[in-house]
Structure formats: C-alpha cells, structure tokens
Amino acid sequence: MKLKIKKNTLRKRLLFFTVVFVISSMGSVFAGEGMEEQAVEYFKEALEAQKSGDIDLAITLYTKAIYTKSNYAQAHNNLGTAYAQKNDYAKAKEEYDRAVMIDSDYSIALKNLAIIYAERQDYEKFYEYWKRATGIGVYSPFLIDDEAKE
C-alpha cells in the first residue's frame, strides 16, 4: 500500500510541474506577441512623425521599435532613412547594413545602401548593391546611355 501512495504522489508532482511548465511557456509566447504588436505600434508612430517632419521623434520611435523587436528589418531601414534625412550617412549606412543582415533580400535596404555608395563615389559597391536589389547588372542597357556606347 505504501508503494501505491508514493506512485500517486510522484504522478501528482509530475503533473503539477508539467502544468507549471506549460503555463509558463505559454506566457512567454503571449508576451512575445505583445512585444511584436508594441514594436509595430512604435513603427507606425515613427512613420507619422517622419512624414510630418519630426525626424528626431521618428528616430526615437524607430529605436524603440527595434529595442522591442530586434530583428525588425523595416525599422532598421527606416531608421537609416531618418538618419540620412539628418545628413548622418554613417549611421544611415549602419542601419541599412543591419536591415540587410536581418533580411539579405530586402531590396529597399539594398537600394539605400547602393545610394550611399553612389554618394561616396564608390561605384563598385554601388553596382554590387544595385544588382542585388534589382537584378540589373552593371552593364545593363538600362544603366548605359546610348550616346556613351559610341
């Protein structure tokens, strides 16, 4: 009879810890969803601030979105654009690079990097990023003037 009581107690403890584990795991899943929603909300507010010309507020809000959801490629890209609007091209490039590290096929961030390199007159890098973004090669007829061919 003692052995039966121990088995029941062991089962109850095992069931208790399993339930606690499942509930705690679900809590982190729900918290993750809430964090993502908060990041999207910051992102939307940042877009509005940027559209209205309040670049400093946009930078703050994009930064909050990234802090809330670190792998938010769009927020990194838009933060880069906000820095570019303030003529801080070094920070802009950093944010575009981060966006591309998160999503290597993110064409808008790739185009933004191409523009940064064109501004720096680093045409080799410009063409590299432009090709990655658009699929158009360096010697594409779309990038060459007819007059320049002769």
Asked if residues 97 and 110 have their Cβ atoms less than 8 Å apart, the reply is no
Structural domain count, the chain = 1
Nearest to 119 by CA among 96, 145, 142, 139: 96
Full pLDDT tens readout for the chain, 150 residues = 455 445 556 666 655 555 445 454 444 434 456 788 999 999 999 999 999 999 999 999 999 999 999 899 999 999 999 999 999 999 999 999 999 999 999 999 999 999 999 999 998 999 899 899 888 765 555 554 444 434
Domain annotation covers residue 73: yes
Domain residues for the domain of 125 are 2-139
In this structure, what CATH number is given to the domain that contains residue 85?
Answer: 1.25.40.10
